Structure formats: C-alpha cells, structure tokens
Chain A
C-alpha cells in the first residue's frame, strides 16, 4: 500500500495524542492549572493535528462531516464519531482541572475509554480489510495500535513505570505483528490462480497489463519500492520506538534537569520510531489486487 505521509502522520500523532488523553482522563498525572493546561494543549494538539492531517488525503475534505453518518456499518465513520466524542468529553474534563481545580472523575473515565476506543476504531479500519492480508490480523493489528498508543501516552504523561511496561508490551506486539505478517499473504491463499479462476488449467502468468502506463490502483495499492529497505527499517524503527525510550527510562540518573532531558529524548525517539514502523505498516502491506498485475 502507498505510504501516504498524511496517513502516517495522522495515525502516529493521533495515536500518541489519544494515548496521552487516556492517561489524563484517568488523572495521571494529577496536574492542575497551568501544568494541566500544557498537558492538554499537547494532547489536543497531537490528536486534532492528526485528524486534520488525515483530511489532506481526501478528494473532498469539505464534505468530511458526512462521515459521521454511517457508524452502523463503517469503521471509518465510527472512528470519526468516537474521536469527536472523546475530544468533547476530554475538553469538559480539561476545563475542570485547568480552571476549577476540580477533577470530574466520571467524565475523565469516560473520556479515557473513548480515547482508547478511537485508537481501536482506527486500527479496525485496517484490520477489517481482507484484501490486505498483513492488516487483516485480529487481534494483532488492533493490539499493535493500542499498545503503541498506550506506551506513547504513558511516556508523554510522565508515567515512567507504566511507560516501561507498555513499551515492552508494544515491543512484543510489534515483533509478533511482523512475524505473523510475513506469512499473512500466503496464509490468505489468494493467488493469481484464484484471482483469475484459471489455476486449474495450468500455471498462470501476467502476460500483458491493461495499459502501458500506471494507474490509480498501482499507485495506491502496489508499492514495491517502499519495501526495499524493510529489514533495515524494522531495526531502526524498533530501536527508536522501543529500545531507546526504554533505556532512557531505566538508566538511573541524578538531577531533575537530566531526567527531563532524557524524558525528552525518549519521547522524540519514540515518535520517530513509531512513524518509521507506521511507514512499514503501509509499505509492507500487499493488496491482493496487485496479483492481477503480476505484482504484489
């Protein structure tokens, strides 16, 4: 699949933002006033920024509001509804802790659940697609999005203990996702033989494409170039997203300034690493339509 920068930015940033909102909703950290304002500004900035980035790849962004209507059948619509509900609920909670020094426990809890729900619905947009076997892995794909979001959220919220735990969990999920994903296409049993229905007659080979030029399908869904460096990018992504932040958290240091500096490094490294693994999430995903073109 084509790794569109807008979608990579969206899933990375909003995943982090909603992860942070989850912890803020549960009162972690128990910040009030100006400190709370900074936390919420970061969380809303990431979540809303990500949502806005996702509208850049639409053909008609001005009609995006119509996407709230089909929550009964569409995961994309559910994501939109869930995101807006989470942001509104958390906004009420934010007003309480910033301006009135009062935490609305129930509202915060609901907001936390809705934030996590938003990340889940995002992951289901991909996990539901039978046409992309590497994504069509339940519960691994949702587990990947949720664990990375929780790890990033805990990092941003300064919850060192929980961050280490979730980083380990995300690391294990990431490795499992890559391991299982490498078999997914073959396991789907979709081949050029079933795609053309001609498999029983002999070996089927794509002889001539329909057009000499490219087309929307090839640009959007067949992206062989993007996977050229996948092995190396897996190392880089895993190191930046999981290993470096873990080391930053676990190294015992004296002094608040150094601790903050290390936390900063951990967050930045994690964001870069998640963006890198998100690139791979798209670039490595093979759509079955590529078979018709003799590609994958």
Chain B
C-alpha cells in the first residue's frame, strides 16, 4: 500500500549549504554517472548531440540572484533533488504502489517494475524532484544512493551518496536528520536550516542552510571599498576633439540622442 509510514526509524537525508555551494555542477554529473551505471533503469538522454538535447537528471543546480534593499546583489547556487519528505504527496498519489517511503530510513523510492509511468507523482511534487525517463518509461528520482550507503563492497568513506562524496566545496552533508545528536542535525540547528515551500505541508527531511551575510564591512559603515580604484585612471565619459564634435553632430541629426 502506498500509505505513508506513521513514523520512520531514521530520517536519512541531505543538508545543503547554500553558503558554500559554488555551482560547479560536479554533484549533477556524479549523480548522473552513478545512477546510470547502477541501481535501476539508466538515466537516458534524448538527442544528446543534436540541436535540442535533453535528459533525465535526479539532481539539478539552479542559480538565483538575490537583490537586498541595500547593498550588492548576491548570486546563490541552488542544488535541488528529492527532499525525501515526511509527508510525501508523491507516495500517496501513486496508483500502483510503486512509490513508497521506507520505514527503516525514510528514503522515498520507486519500484520500477510496478511503475506504469502515469506521471501523477511528478505532478504532485512541488520541487520537481521526479522525472519520467523517456527511454525506460518509468519514474526516476533520487534514491539517496541507497545502493552506496549500505554497500559493504565499497570502502567505508564511499558509503555516502555520490553527490556528497563528489562535492569539492563541502556544501553537501549526509546523515540522520531524525537524530538530534547527529552532525547534520547540529548543522541545521547552528545555521538555521530551512525547509523549501513549507506552506505545501510536505515536511521535507532535506534542509537548506542559508547563505551567511556578505559585505560585512559595508554594513559596519566603511562604505564600499574598492582597493583598485586609486590605481585606475578614470574612464572618460565625454569625448573631446574630433570624436566630441562627431558625437554632438550625430546627436543633432534627426533620430539622434538630443
């Protein structure tokens, strides 16, 4: 049955640090690689070398610009994959029981031999975490690398999701968010970890750490500091001589910038 478990023994999930993510897309590539070569149907591409390439990805990195009321805009790279929600709507809408949330660790998975590819679970997910693979005709989603984290054939340091293992900036953390003493729970508590779209009532397990405030000097009253400014000659704004005459003459022609 696709009923959700009333409680899970553990809540395995990711903590993503928006402060340190540099948007290098390494997690995207390693996810695609691991999940194409291992558990389940491969993540296919369509028209990969053609004019309109597209493919299935379980993890995508967006970039957002945040413009505060005062001060410079900030660019924030934003990795997004399945949040393994406590109250996962994708599980309860599934008509075949292919989608389920595991009692032992809270991971949301798709049983690909039961999936009819109706796409309703993807519709029900506010985060766009599920993508129907066009080649396999079944729904694909982040498995939290369930075939790595318990895999005793791998060295111990590799028994974490591929995206976490790969991240060069340490922006991705994996652990039990149901255990308040775990490292990830500590990070969430220290840094004010947040839910995405809390109003949707999905209770995501994955948490996002907000970026730390930047440009602290400006806030302390030092104003904008430009170390190079004294070394650079000012750029001429008004042309003189022949160019100046040409500029004024062209402005005077009909349609010119008077």
Interface residues of A (CB under 8 A from B): 1, 57-61, 63-64, 66-67, 69-70, 72-77, 80, 125, 128-132, 188-190, 192, 194-198, 201-211, 213-217, 220-221, 287-289, 292-293
A60 and B138: CB pair below 8 A?
yes
By beta carbon, the residue of chain A nearest B132 is: A216
Contacts of A125 in B (CB 8 A): 93, 120
In the complex with contacts A80-B95, A189-B199, A202-B66 CB distance below 8 A: yes
A204 and B64: CB pair below 8 A?
yes
A131 and B115: CB pair below 8 A?
no
A57 and B93: CB pair below 8 A?
no
Q: Smallest CB–CB gap between A107 and chain B, Å? A: 27
A132 and B64: CB pair below 8 A?
no
* Contact stretch, chosen from B49-57, B157-165, B245-253: B49-57
A215 and B131: CB pair below 8 A?
yes
- Residues 11-30 of chain B, each 1 if its beta carbon lies under 8 Å from chain A, else 0: 00000001000000000100
- Residues 58-84 of chain B, each 1 if its beta carbon lies under 8 Å from chain A, else 0: 001111111111000111101010000
- Residues 221-235 of chain B, each 1 if its beta carbon lies under 8 Å from chain A, else 0: 000000000000000
By beta carbon, the residue of chain A nearest B120 is: A76
Contacts of A80 in B (CB 8 A): 95
| Chain B facing A: main interface SS | loop
A190 and B199: CB pair below 8 A?
yes
B197 and A194: CB pair below 8 A?
yes
Report how far A130 CA is from B74 CA in the complex, Å: 31
- Candidate in A61, A207, A288 with the most chain B CB atoms within 10 angstroms: A207
Q: How many of chain B's residues have a CB under 8 angstroms from any CB in A?
A: 69
In the complex with contacts A69-B97, A70-B1, A195-B92 CB distance below 8 A: no
Contacts of B28 in A (CB 8 A): 210
Q: Which of A61, A129, A198 contacts B66 (CB 8 A)?
A: A198
A60 and B53: CB pair below 8 A?
no
Given contacts A59-B119, A204-B64, 20 further A-B contacts (CB under 8 A): A1-B123, A63-B114, A66-B114, A67-B116, A73-B2, A73-B91, A73-B93, A75-B93, A80-B95, A125-B120, A128-B124, A197-B208, A198-B64, A205-B65, A207-B75, A211-B57, A216-B132, A287-B123, A289-B125, A292-B80
User: Which residues of chain B (90-110) have a CB below 8 Å from chain A?
Assistant: 91-98
- Assess whether B187 is interfacial by the CB under 8 Å rule: no
Q: Which of B76, B78, B96 contacts A70 (CB 8 A)?
A: B96
In the complex with contacts A125-B120, A204-B65, A131-B200 CB distance below 8 A: yes
A221 and B64: CB pair below 8 A?
no
- Candidate in B62, B114, B124 with the most chain A CB atoms within 10 angstroms: B62
